[in-house]
Chains A and B, each alone.
Chain A
Amino acid sequence: MRNLIILFLIFIIPSKALGLIEVDITRGNLNPLPIAVSPLSIDDESKKGFEKTLKKKDIGSEISKVIEKNLKTSGLFNPLDKNAFLQAPDIAHLKPRFEDWNLIKAQALITGKVKNVDDKIRVEFRLWDVLAGKEMMALAFTTVPNNWRRVGHIITDKVYERLTGEKGYFDTRIIYVAEEGPKTKRIKKLAIMDQDGANNKFLTLGNELVLTPRFNPTSQMVTYLSYFRNLPRVYLLDIETGIQEVVGDFPGMTFAPRFSPDGKKIIMSFAKDGNSDIYTMDLENRIVEKITNHPSIDTSPSYSPDGKFICFNSDRSGYQQIYVMKSDGSNVKRISFGNGLYGTPVWSPRGDLIAFTKLHKGKFYIGVMRTDGSGERLLTENFYQEAPSWSPNGRVLIFYRETKTDDKGEGFSAKLWSIDLTGYNERLVDTPTDASDPSWSSLLSN
Chain B
Amino acid sequence: MKKLVIRNIDQGALMKLNKILKNTFLVLFACLVLSACATSKKSTGQMQGDVYTGTDTVEYLASGVPDRVFFATNESVLTTASRETLRKQAAWLRKNSDITIVLEGHADERGTREYNLALGERRANAAKDYLMTYGISSNRISVLSYGKERPVDSGSNPLAWSKNRRSVTVKAN
Contact in complex: A386, B112 (CB < 8 Å): yes
A42 interface residue per 8 A CB criterion:
no
Contact in complex: B118, A276 (CB < 8 Å): yes
Which residues of chain A have C-beta atoms less than 8 A from B122's C-beta? Answer: 271, 274-276, 297
Contact in complex: B114, A271 (CB < 8 Å): no
Interface residues of B in 110-161 (CB under 8 A from A): 110-115, 117-119, 121-122, 124-126, 129, 143-145, 149-157, 160
Sort A-B residue pairs by CB-CB distance and give the 10 closest, nearest first. Answer: A274-B125, A409-B154, A343-B112, A183-B154, A276-B118, A404-B156, A256-B114, A297-B118, A271-B121, A274-B122
Query: What is the bound-complex CA distance between A58 and B163, given in angstroms?
Result: 57
Query: What is the bound-complex CA distance between A300 and B117, given in angstroms?
Result: 11
A269 interface residue per 8 A CB criterion:
yes
Which residues of chain A have C-beta atoms less than 8 A from B118's C-beta? Answer: 255, 269, 271, 276, 297, 299
Residue of B nearest to A342 (CB): B112
Which residues of chain A have C-beta atoms less than 8 A from B111's C-beta? Answer: 320, 343, 359
B48 interface residue per 8 A CB criterion:
no
Contact in complex: A212, B114 (CB < 8 Å): yes
Residue of A nearest to B74 (CB): A319
Which residues of chain B have C-beta atoms less than 8 A from A315's C-beta? Answer: 74, 115
Query: What is the bound-complex CA distance between A436 and B149, given in angstroms?
Result: 12
Contact in complex: B115, A211 (CB < 8 Å): no
Instruction: Output the least CB separation between A273 and chain B (Å).
Output: 6
Mind listing 20 A-B residue pairs with CB under 8 Å? A185-B150, A186-B149, A209-B149, A211-B113, A252-B121, A255-B117, A256-B114, A269-B118, A274-B122, A274-B126, A276-B118, A297-B119, A313-B115, A315-B115, A343-B111, A343-B114, A357-B112, A386-B113, A387-B113, A412-B154
Which residues of chain B have C-beta atoms less than 8 A from A406's C-beta? Answer: 156
Chain B interface residue number, banded? 20 to 34
- Of B76, B150, B155, which is within 8 A of A407 by CB? B155
B109 interface residue per 8 A CB criterion:
yes
Contact in complex: B145, A271 (CB < 8 Å): yes
Instruction: Output the least CB separation between B145 and chain A (Å).
Output: 6
Instruction: Output the least CB separation between A187 and chain B (Å).
Output: 11
Kindly supply a per-residue 1/0 record for chain B positions 49-86, scoring 1 wherever the CB is within 8 Å of any chain A CB and 0 otherwise. Answer: 00000000000000000000000001010000000000
A344 interface residue per 8 A CB criterion:
yes
- Of A232, A387, A405, which is within 8 A of B145 by CB? A232
Residue of B nearest to A186 (CB): B149
- Of A275, A300, A412, which is within 8 A of B114 by CB? A300
Kindly supply a per-residue 1/0 record for chain A positions 395-419, scoring 1 wherever the CB is within 8 Å of any chain B CB and 0 otherwise. Answer: 0000000101111010010000000
Which residues of chain A have C-beta atoms less than 8 A from B109's C-beta? Answer: 384, 402
Which residues of chain B have C-beta atoms less than 8 A from A53's C-beta? Answer: none
A253 interface residue per 8 A CB criterion:
yes
Residue of B nearest to A301 (CB): B114
A230 interface residue per 8 A CB criterion:
yes
Contact in complex: B117, A343 (CB < 8 Å): no
A182 interface residue per 8 A CB criterion:
yes
Contact in complex: B144, A300 (CB < 8 Å): no
Residue of A nearest to B138 (CB): A273
Given contacts A409-B155, A412-B154, contact A253 B114 (CB under 8 A): no
Given contacts A211-B149, A230-B144, A232-B117, contact A405 B125 (CB under 8 A): no
Which residues of chain A have C-beta atoms less than 8 A from B110's C-beta? Answer: 359, 384
Instruction: Output the least CB separation between A237 and chain B (Å).
Output: 19
Given contacts A276-B118, A300-B115, contact A409 B125 (CB under 8 A): no
Given contacts A186-B149, A273-B125, contact A405 B114 (CB under 8 A): no
Query: What is the bound-complex CA distance between A315 and B118, given in angstroms?
Result: 11
Which residues of chain A have C-beta atoms less than 8 A from B144's C-beta? Answer: 230, 232, 253
A184 interface residue per 8 A CB criterion:
yes
Interface residues of A in 146-170 (CB under 8 A from B): none
Query: What is the bound-complex CA distance between A437 and B124, given in angstroms?
Result: 25
Which residues of chain B have C-beta atoms less than 8 A from A232's C-beta? Answer: 117, 144-145
Which residues of chain B have C-beta atoms less than 8 A from A299's C-beta? Answer: 114-115, 117-118
Which residues of chain B have C-beta atoms less than 8 A from A384's C-beta? Answer: 109-110
- Of A300, A319, A405, which is within 8 A of B112 by CB? A300
